[in-house]
Amino acid sequence: MVVILGAGLAGLSAAFHLDGRDRLVLEREPEIGGLCRSIREHGFTFDYTGHLLHLRDPSIRGWVLDLLPAGWTHLHRSAWIHSHDVLTPYPFQANTAGLPLDVRLECLLGFVDTLRRPHAEVPVPAAEPLDPALPFLRVAPPPADDEPTFLDWIHAQFGAGFAKHFFEPYNGKMWRRPLDHVTGDWVSWSIPRPELRDVLRGAITANDKAFGYNPDFLYPKHGGIDHLPRSIAAALPDDVVRTRCAAVSLVAGNRRVTLSDGSVETGEVVLSSLPLDVLCDLTVDLPDDLRRDARRLSCVGIRAVNLGVRGEAVHPGAQWVYVPDEAVPFHRIGLPAALTPAMAPAGHHTLVTEISYVPEADPGRDAHLHGTLDALLRMGFLRSLDDVVHTRVVDIPHAYVVFDRARREVLPKLLRWFLDRGVAPMGRYGSWDYLAMEDSLVHGRQVAAWIAARS
Ligand SMILES: Cc1cc2nc3c(=O)[nH]c(=O)nc-3n(C[C@H](O)[C@H](O)[C@H](O)COP(=O)(O)OP(=O)(O)OC[C@H]3O[C@@H](n4cnc5c(N)ncnc54)[C@H](O)[C@@H]3O)c2cc1C
């Protein structure tokens, strides 16, 4: 039997692609879906902050479209930045028109300055997969002392002005640590570097070019990203997924999992989408040095403030807004009702703010809630506190994996130790990576192929 820990997208995709094999998915929560669950309260639907489906792999796209025929809405990005009391289109570096003149000038001069120097593409050494059949389990070797950090990368790519007015404050709020403690290897694909022509044009007028990796995406028409995991689970036999059933300990050597109800399951293979640090904590035969290594892995949590609001959105059509201002607790505002009207009752909309936090410097939920409401009023996203008819604060303790030196030093050792025992970490936190939903679906498919190749 294949024992699968976690019924998020990676676990469900693995179960789906292991069709015909004996497999069992064990999920701690009462519901499946993991991060792709949705919360429905008083007619409002909230995801665990914005969950927009970008698909690159044609076979995953075909599968996903088949899962919810006619159930998807195809959307074009409407993303913005709120800074210096002005709303400008995403990305900041290609759209400074409307910002104060001195800000624009600093950004342009800094960018022009980067053109006089060689670009710092972060030269991350090539990484071999730990197992050729699991191409996603690949980590670059530890950084050399002179490898550019994320901070170096920002300055080399965009210059001092863009760094000062957007990248440094925004990413400081996001990562909650000095940016020279973050390695540059996660960013290159996700942050677009416009050409000089686009930067100049964007300083004069709105740039209508589609920049970046996510200009188009899918979202469930009937509201709530949980339609995706539910439709995968619906295609599985009833007895494959067991909820309210947490793994409390694992003996990796014989792949024996003890569950919260006292029962025990043993797999010929165990697939784990649990956060890797959690898996290490509950693995009883993990050597002490690796247990210490696992404690060096870092991530930030996201605290979402979900608000149901009376009336139409102040900026109709805007789907999300980045907020670099350091005086504002959140770094992003989501406006899910712009994705589909099904997210809120008629005559209402929702606002979701995302606050990145680390437990050792957390001012607390009340402070974040009050700071959020004050900032939304000040910024004009809320007309009045009386319009707020529903509030819920939700914590996501494992939200963004931190890319740092420790990750590259310890991750290959940990992954290798589990793989050698027939325990395959997968998914966003299992592989301790920056993964989108599509990637987690791909992981599930690849571990199924890996199991087929082993047998
Ligand atoms: C704030 C935020 C915004 C995001 N936005 C997007 C987006 O817009 N687009 C996009 O494509 N992706 C987005 N993602 C990424 C996406 O959510 C993930 O890639 C994907 O959902 C991860 O699925 P997974 O199965 O790997 O992990 P998870 O969803 O974390 O699944 C792991 C499962 O393991 C379960 N579990 C934990 N401990 C135990 C235990 N001891 N025993 C049994 N079960 C256990 C959990 O309950 C969970 O169900 C976002 C992520 C975050 C954090």
73 has pLDDT over 80 = yes
Q: What's the whole-number mean pLDDT along residues 50-58?
A: 95
Is there a single domain that holds both residue 98 and residue 201? yes
95-128: buried (b, 16+ CB within 10 Å) or exposed (e) per residue?
Answer: bbbebeeebbebbbebbeebeeeeebebebeeee
Q: Do residues 417 and 250 lie in contact, with contact meaning Cβ atoms separated by under 8 Å?
A: no
Residue nearest to atom 12 of ligand 1 (CA): 436
Q: 35 CB less than 6 Å from ligand 1?
A: yes
Full residue range of the structural domain in which residue 373 is found? 299-401
Does any domain span residue 211?
A: no
Is there a single domain that holds both residue 312 and residue 260? no
Q: What's the whole-number mean pLDDT along residues 399-411?
A: 95
Q: What's the whole-number mean pLDDT along residues 246-273?
A: 98
SS3 for 283-331 is: ECCCCHHHHHHHCCCCEEEEEEEEEEEECCCCCCCCCEEECCCCCCCCC
pLDDT in tens, 354-387: 999 999 999 999 999 999 999 999 999 999 999 9
Is there a single domain that holds both residue 292 and residue 408? yes
Is there a single domain that holds both residue 412 and residue 334? no
Q: What is the CATH number of the domain that holds 272?
A: 3.50.50.60
Distance 345 CA to ligand 1 centre (A): 27
- 164 Cβ partners below 8 Å, 6+ apart? 106, 110
The pLDDT of residue 188 = 62
Residue nearest to atom 52 of ligand 1 (CA): 399
Does any domain span residue 159?
A: yes
Does any domain span residue 86?
A: no
Domain edge (last residue) among 206, 240, 271:
206
- Amino acid at position 46, single letter: F
Choose one of 35, 265, 273 to mutate for the ligand 1 pocket test, by most ligand atoms within 8 angstroms of C-beta: 35
**Residue 383 CB neighbour total at 10 angstroms:** 14
Q: 201 CB less than 6 Å from ligand 1?
A: no
Distance (Å, rounded) from C-alpha 158 to C-alpha 46? 35
Q: 52 CB less than 6 Å from ligand 1?
A: yes
pLDDT in tens, 89-138: 999 999 999 999 999 999 999 999 999 876 656 566 678 888 888 988 98
Distance 428 CA to ligand 1 centre (A): 7
Q: 427 CB less than 6 Å from ligand 1?
A: yes
- What percentage of the chain exceeds 70 in pLDDT? 97
Structure confidence at residue 40 as a pLDDT band (50, 70, 90)? very high
Torsional sign, CA 271, 402, 49, 135 = negative
Is there a single domain that holds both residue 97 and residue 161? yes
Axis crossing angle, helix 227-234 with helix 58-67, rounded to the nearest 10? 80
Is there a single domain that holds both residue 329 and residue 413? no
Structure confidence at residue 38 as a pLDDT band (50, 70, 90)? very high
Bridge partners, residue 302, by sequence: 356, 396
Bridge partners, residue 353, by sequence: 305, 333
Distance (Å, rounded) from C-alpha 368 to C-alpha 120? 37
The pLDDT of residue 208 = 75
Distance 11 CA to ligand 1 centre (A): 10
Is there a single domain that holds both residue 228 and residue 284? yes
Q: What is the CATH number of the domain that holds 307?
A: 3.90.660.20
Distance 162 CA to ligand 1 centre (A): 32
The pLDDT of residue 138 = 86
223 has pLDDT over 70 = yes
Is there a single domain that holds both residue 95 and residue 172? yes
The residue ranking higher by pLDDT, 41 or 194, is 41
Domain edge (last residue) among 379, 401, 423:
401
Distance 250 CA to ligand 1 centre (A): 21
Is there a single domain that holds both residue 132 and residue 189? yes
Query: pTM for this one?
Result: 0.95
The pLDDT of residue 221 = 96
Does any domain span residue 154?
A: yes
Distance 7 CA to ligand 1 centre (A): 9
The pLDDT of residue 292 = 97
The pLDDT of residue 199 = 94
Is there a single domain that holds both residue 164 and residue 185? yes
The pLDDT of residue 341 = 93
253 has pLDDT over 70 = yes
* Mean pLDDT score across all residues of the chain: 94
Residue nearest to atom 38 of ligand 1 (CA): 274
Distance (Å, rounded) from C-alpha 318 to C-alpha 321? 7
Least confident range of 73-87, 201-215, 347-361: 201-215
Domain edge (last residue) among 206, 240, 257:
206
Structure confidence at residue 185 as a pLDDT band (50, 70, 90)? confident
41 has pLDDT over 80 = yes
Does any domain span residue 56?
A: no
pLDDT in tens, 320-346: 999 999 999 999 999 999 999 999 999
The pLDDT of residue 119 = 62
Torsional sign, CA 314, 315, 319, 321 = negative
Distance (Å, rounded) from C-alpha 401 to C-alpha 409? 15
Does any domain span residue 127?
A: yes
Is there a single domain that holds both residue 280 and residue 414? yes
Structure confidence at residue 189 as a pLDDT band (50, 70, 90)? low
Q: What's the whole-number mean pLDDT along residues 48-66?
A: 96
SS3 for the chain is: CEEEECCCHHHHHHHHHCCCCCEEEECCCCCCCHHHCEEEECCEEEECCCCCECCCCHHHHHHHHHHCCCCEEEEECCEEEEECCEEEECCHHHCCCCCCHHHHHHHHHHHHHHHCCCCCCCCCCCCCCCCCCCCCCCCCCCCCCCCCEHHHHHHHHHHHHHHHHHHHHHHHHHHCCCHHHCEHHHCCCCCCCCCHHHHHHHHHCCCCCCCCCCCEEEEECCCCCCHHHHHHHHCCCHHHEECCCCEEEEEHHHCEEEECCCCEEECCEEEECCCHHHHHHHECCCCHHHHHHHCCCCEEEEEEEEEEEECCCCCCCCCEEECCCCCCCCCEEECHHHCCHHHCCCCEEEEEEEEEECHHHCCCHHHHHHHHHHHHHHHCCCCCHHHEEEEEEEEEEEEEECCCHHHHHHHHHHHHHHHHCCEEECHHHHCCCCCCHHHHHHHHHHHHHHHHHHC
Is there a single domain that holds both residue 194 and residue 108? yes
55 has pLDDT over 60 = yes
Q: What's the number of domains the chain is made of?
A: 3
Q: 60 CB less than 6 Å from ligand 1?
A: no
Q: How far is CA 91 from CA 70, 115, 117, 137, 202, in A?
A: 31, 19, 23, 31, 10
Does any domain span residue 65?
A: no
Residue nearest to atom 48 of ligand 1 (CA): 34
Name which of 7, 9, 5 is nearest 439 in CA terms.
Answer: 9
Does any domain span residue 364?
A: yes
Distance 444 CA to ligand 1 centre (A): 13
